[in-house]
Amino acid sequence: MDAGDPSKVFHELAFGTWRYQRDWKPPLEFVSGEGAYLVARDGRRFLDFSSQLVCVNLGYGNRNVIEAVKQQLEDLAYLGPAYAHEIRARALKALRGVVPDNLSKFVVSVSGAEANEDALKIARMYKAPAYKVIARYESYHGSSAGAISLTGDPRRVSVELHTNVRGTVFAPDPYCYRCPFGLSYPECGLACAEYVDYMVRREGNVAAIFMEPVTGTNGVIVPPPGYYEMLREIADEHGLLLIFDEVMAGWGRTGKWFAHMNWDVKPDIMTTAKGATSSYVPVGITAVDGKVASFFEDHFFAVGHTFAFHPVTMAAIEASIKEYKRLGLIERSRRMGEYLGKRLQELMDRHPCIGDVRGLGLFWAVEIVKDRKTKEPFNTREDKLAGRRLMTDRVAAKMREQGVLVMNWISHFVIAPPLIVDEEDIDKGVEALDEALKIADEEARG
């Protein structure tokens, strides 16, 4: 092991996450970032076309957030969650000003998984003895025991035997390109939402519906009009909590402060993370409706963390909210998202491997298929779990050779650049994808 080579040291001493270790090679080493770009040790600049894990919304090097973090470290680096501090008050007031107006109490932790764990516990305490939660198959809510129990994607399969958290029931997804019922909108009558009502009536003991408003890692699935309005009606009819996981889709990513604001609904509990600090420091947030919060006036609130309301995190939250407003990034996401969507749609005419392009704001997916007519994918969940190299891995590697980093999953790419991106950056990313997709075209039919 070469102690002087950070890439080799990191590879030798760290686990590569969500992968077979035999397939992990020493990774690229980055030394700095600016705007929408990361800079490697050898000086090469890489366009970050997915904001890493769809989290660096403000881009790299935002001085106002950096200075706020530095100042808080100098003022008071840590304070237990039982004590007040000015930065805690200011950040919570800033949060209160951008979340739905019915959400009035917060827990601030250090990750999206923790935020979802807290939401799960709050829902089950509030609705006891009901405990079941309806989630979706195409979903990811985090790697901790409770969060992974809510997760529908293949990562749950590998560990669910060991987590021992019961009570999740999975519903069909509002995945119009691959409708689980083989129907088409609007003739379908929103069967995917109606089926949730069927589940609630037959399961019994259901406490909550827990969903990403726009599915993240698993395909940027945007539901058809009326879907969430119907879920809100179902939740109200049966006295259930509607919980939205805005960890990835929040903070301007879809052209609204939070993705569910694209529809006429409000959650009873909302979780978020990532963009709340542009991931400059770890963060998780659980926001709770007033009626749920008041329940705990006379019931024990069994939630807490050593790093809850960490002063440095709170400073980054306040500074980030100011930057979203100062830079007009919510509107910019809508405007630049229209341009990005147009450019991605143009690729369908040139690439038979593209099955679907979908998204909102600066949050898009390009799904590739072996056969456009049958929608046969190049790879499956079983391929992912078996550690086989995916077609999307090959295409992403080709894009990396061209200086563009992109997040890929089993059959799609998540295109989600920082919200400060400009048209020139978008063109660079789309052109790299255009060239790299030729690899998949060679094996596609139709």
Q: Quote the DSSP letter at residue 445.
A: B
pLDDT at 1 over 80: no
Six-digit token string for 215: 């599915």
Q: Give yes or no for a contact between 411 and 378, defined as CB atoms under 8 angstroms apart.
A: yes
Same domain, 37 and 150: no
Show which of 326, 356, 387 is a domain's final residue. Answer: 326
- pLDDT, one tens digit per residue, over 152-173 is 999 998 888 778 789 999 999 9
Instruction: Give the residue-averaged pLDDT of 299-316.
Output: 98
- What range does the domain containing 118 cover? 63-326
User: Cβ contacts of residue 188 below 8 Å, gap of 6+?
Assistant: 179, 181
d(CA 100, CA 287): 9
Domain co-membership, 190 together with 47: no
**Together in a domain, 321 and 332:** no
Distance, CA of 203 to CA of 242 (rounded, Å): 17
Asked if residue 282 is part of any domain, the answer here is: yes
Query: What is the structure's pLDDT at 3?
Result: 61
pLDDT at res. 267: 98
- State whether 356 and 256 are in the same domain: no
Give the pLDDT of residue 319.
98
State both tokens at 212: 């990403």
Amino acid 354 reads I
Mark whether 300 and 412 lie in a shared domain.
no
CA distance 242 to 266: 8
Give the number of domains in the chain.
2
Average pLDDT over residues 226-231: 98
Determine the average pLDDT of the residues in 58-83.
Answer: 98
Q: Are 221 and 215 in contact (CB under 8 A)?
A: yes
Same domain, 282 and 355: no
C-alpha dihedral sign at 15, 18, 21, 23:
negative
Number of H helices, E strands in the chain: 16, 15
pTM of the model: 0.96
Domain check: are 19 and 140 in the same one? Answer: no
- Regarding whether 347 and 218 lie in a shared domain, the answer is no
Residue 446 lies in a domain: no
Phi, psi of 293 (to 5 degrees): -60, -40
Task: Look up the CATH number of the domain holding residue 264.
Answer: 3.40.640.10
8-state DSSP, 111: S
Would residue 1 count as lying in a domain?
no
The DSSP secondary-structure symbol of 261 reads G
Question: Under a CB-based contact definition with an 8 Å cutoff, are residues 145 and 166 in contact?
Answer: no
Q: Which of 299, 326, 353 is the last residue of a domain?
A: 326
Query: φ and ψ at 115, to 5 degrees?
Result: -60, -40
User: Do 145 and 11 have their domain in common?
Assistant: no
Confidence of residue 12 (pLDDT cuts 50, 70, 90): very high
Instruction: Tell me: pLDDT of 296 over 90.
Output: yes
Domain containing residue 47: CATH number:
3.90.1150.10
For residues 73 and 171, membership in a common domain is answered with: yes
Last residue of a domain, which of 298, 326, 354? 326
